[in-house]
Chain A
Amino acid sequence: MQRATLDLWVGLFVLAGIGALMILSLKVGNLDTYNGSGTYVIKGNFENIGGLKIRAPVKSSGVVVGRVADIRFSTKTYDAIVTMNIEQRYQFPKDTFASILTSGLLGEQYIGLDAGGDEAMLKEGDTIMKTNSAMVLEEMIGRFLFDKASEDDAF
Chain B
Amino acid sequence: MPKRIIAGIQKIGHRTIEGIRRLGHATLFFLLVLLKSGTSLQRFNLVVRELYYVGVLSLIIIVVSGLFVGMVLGLQGYETLQKYGSESAVGTLVALSLVRELGPVVAALLFASRAGSAITAEIGLMKATEQLSAMGMMAVDPVARVVAPRFWAGVISMPLLAAIFSVMGVFGGYLVAVVFIGVDAGSFWSQMQSNVDFRIDILNGFIKSCFFGVAVTAIAVFEGYDSPPTAEGVSGATTRTVVTSSLAILGLDFILTAFMFRGL
Chain A contacts to B: CB under 8 angstroms: 1, 3, 6-7, 9-10, 12-14, 16-18, 20-21, 23-25, 27-31, 34, 55
Q: Provided the pairs A1-B52, A6-B49, A6-B52 are in contact, do residues A30 and B164 lie with their beta carbons within 8 angstroms? A: no
Q: Majority SS of interface residues in chain B? A: helix
Q: Provided the pairs A6-B48, A9-B56, A13-B157 are in contact, do residues A29 and B198 lie with their beta carbons within 8 angstroms? A: yes
CB of A30 within 8 A of CB of B198, answer yes
Q: What is the distance, in angstroms, from B122's C-beta to the closest C-beta of chain A?
A: 16
CB of A28 within 8 A of CB of B163, answer no
Q: Mark B32-62, 1 if CB is under 8 A from A, else 0.
A: 0000000000000100110110011001000
- In the assembled complex, the Cα of A30 lies from the Cα of B191 at a distance in Å of 11
> Could you show 13 A-B contacts with beta carbons less than 8 Å apart?
A6-B48, A9-B52, A10-B52, A13-B52, A14-B51, A14-B156, A16-B59, A16-B164, A20-B163, A20-B166, A23-B167, A27-B189, A30-B193
Which residue in chain A gives the minimum CB-CB distance to B63?
A: A16
CB of B202 within 8 A of CB of A17, answer no
CB of B193 within 8 A of CB of A28, answer yes
- In the assembled complex, the Cα of A14 lies from the Cα of B161 at a distance in Å of 9
CB of A13 within 8 A of CB of B59, answer yes
Most chain B CB atoms below 10 A, which of A1, A9, A17, A28: A28
Interface size class of B (residues with CB under 8 A): 20 to 34
Q: Which residues of A contact B48 (CB under 8 A)?
A: 6-7, 10
- In the assembled complex, the Cα of A16 lies from the Cα of B55 at a distance in Å of 11
Apart from A16-B160, A17-B161, A24-B202, list 8 A-B contacts with CB within 8 A. A6-B52, A20-B163, A28-B95, A28-B99, A28-B202, A29-B193, A29-B196, A29-B197
Which residue in chain B gives the minimum CB-CB distance to A11?
A: B48
> When the two chains form the complex, which single residue of A7, A17, A25, A28 contacts B160, counting CB atoms closer than 8 Å?
A17
Which residue in chain B gives the minimum CB-CB distance to A32?
A: B193
Q: Which residues of B contact A28 (CB under 8 A)?
A: 95, 99, 166-167, 170, 192-193, 196, 202
Q: Mark B92-111, 1 if CB is under 8 A from A, else 0.
A: 00010001000000000000
Q: Mark B221-232, 1 if CB is under 8 A from A, else 0.
A: 000000000000
Closest 10 CB pairs of A and B: A17-B160, A20-B163, A20-B167, A31-B198, A29-B198, A20-B164, A21-B163, A13-B56, A10-B51, A29-B196
Q: Which residues of B contact A34 (CB under 8 A)?
A: 198
